[in-house]
Amino acid sequence: MIRYYCSGFDVNNAFGHGLGDMFKTELRDTKSIVYIPGNPEKIEKAKTKYIPVFTKHFKNVGIEFDEVNLITPDLTSYEAKKKITNASFIMLMGGDPFKQKEMCEQLGILEELKKFNGIMMGFSAGAMLMSKYIIIIPCSEEYPDFHIEKGLNFDEISIYPHNNTPEDIYPDTLVVEDEAYQKEDLIRVAKDYGKFYLLQDNDTDISIIKSSNGNIEFYIENNGKIWEVSNDVNLVYKNSSKKL
Residue 198, domain member (yes or no): yes
Inside any domain, residue 241: no
**Domain containing 180: what range?**
2-235
- Report if residue 242 sits inside a domain: no
160 in a structural domain: yes
177 occurs within a structural domain? yes
pLDDT in tens, 230-239: 999 999 976 6
Q: How many domains does the chain have?
A: 1
CB 229 within 8 A of CB 131: no
Phi–psi pair at 172, nearest 5 degrees: -65, -35
Residue 244 lies in a domain: no
> In this predicted model, which residue has the larger pLDDT, 53 or 177?
53
CATH number at residue 98: 3.40.50.880
Enumerate residues 6+ apart whose C-beta is below 8 A from 163. 7, 170, 174, 176, 181, 198, 199, 200, 227
What pLDDT sits at residue 42? 84
- List residues bridging with 242 in a β-sheet: 219
Q: Kindly tell me if the per-residue pLDDT of 241 is higher than 70.
A: no
Contact in structure between 70 and 84 (CB atoms under 8 Å): no
- Report the mean per-residue pLDDT for the chain: 94
In a domain, 36, yes or no: yes
Q: How far apart are alpha carbons 74 and 105 in whole angstroms? A: 13
> Does some domain include residue 207?
yes
Per-residue pLDDT averaged across 206-229, rounded?
92
In this prediction, residues 212-233 reach a mean pLDDT of 92
Helix (H, G, I), strand (E, B) or coil at 119: strand
pTM flag (> 0.75): yes
